[in-house]
Copies of this chain bind each other. A is one copy, B any other.
């Protein structure tokens, strides 16, 4: 991470753009082709998202650390892996990149450039799902980087592949992606009104994981990648 902050911010923008384009675009393709078979649509959406994460995390770690997720950025800052002064640039790049990614998917599939999500995702089971999803994601990243840094792209892709199915919310686990998905009215969309509870649950999940990480690794450096 010797790149300048502007280079890293552009990387977070491009990486999150491609990630959300993958999530939203594969959701559109999956819904179009699956003829109402929701299990098959979600399976295709899952495989595309997990594979995109393997590729994008591997590609952007050498530039920006491949956070692509405000929770990862904030937990990194708490953990000493990123100066707090750089957090706003990361989060701004991730959020605007995510929104641009939804628009990119819309352009590729010829649907309205901007839309408002109407997919209802509310209630305590959804919030608890996002808590668990993000808690597990942060545990996975911080643990895997200590096993082998080279395994992190696979661990992240594999974790989200699993969490799309094992959480009731299909595991957004990422505030930037959540906001971007509020701007698409397709398979992977979410109502804007449901976003705050998702982001809150994701934040609490990340903080919960941080407490355990501090317990498990009391003295060692905790910077991921």
Interface residues of A (CB under 8 A from B): 3, 7, 10-11, 14, 18, 21-26, 29-30, 33-35, 37-52, 54-56, 58-63, 104-105, 107-110, 123, 125, 128-129, 132, 136, 139-144, 146-148, 150-151, 153-159, 161-168, 212, 215-216
| Chain A interface SS verdict (over half) | helix
Q: Knowing A14-B139, A108-B132 touch, does A46 contact B47 (C-beta < 8 A)?
A: yes
Q: Which of B44, B140, B141 contacts A39 (CB 8 A)?
A: B44
Q: Interface centre among A33, A51, A56, A216, by most B CB within 10 Å?
A: A51
Closest chain-B Cβ to A160's Cβ sits at a distance in Å of: 8
19 contacts between A and B (CB under 8 A): A7-B215, A22-B162, A25-B165, A29-B165, A29-B166, A30-B39, A37-B39, A43-B47, A44-B46, A51-B162, A54-B158, A55-B136, A55-B156, A55-B159, A59-B140, A104-B132, A105-B166, A108-B129, A108-B132
Residues in B with CB closer than 8 Å to A42 are: 29, 33, 44
Q: Which of B24, B48, B147 contacts A58 (CB 8 A)?
A: B147
Of all chain B residues, the one with the shortest Cβ separation from A225 is B147
Chain B residues with Cβ below 8 Å from A22 are 162-163, 165-166
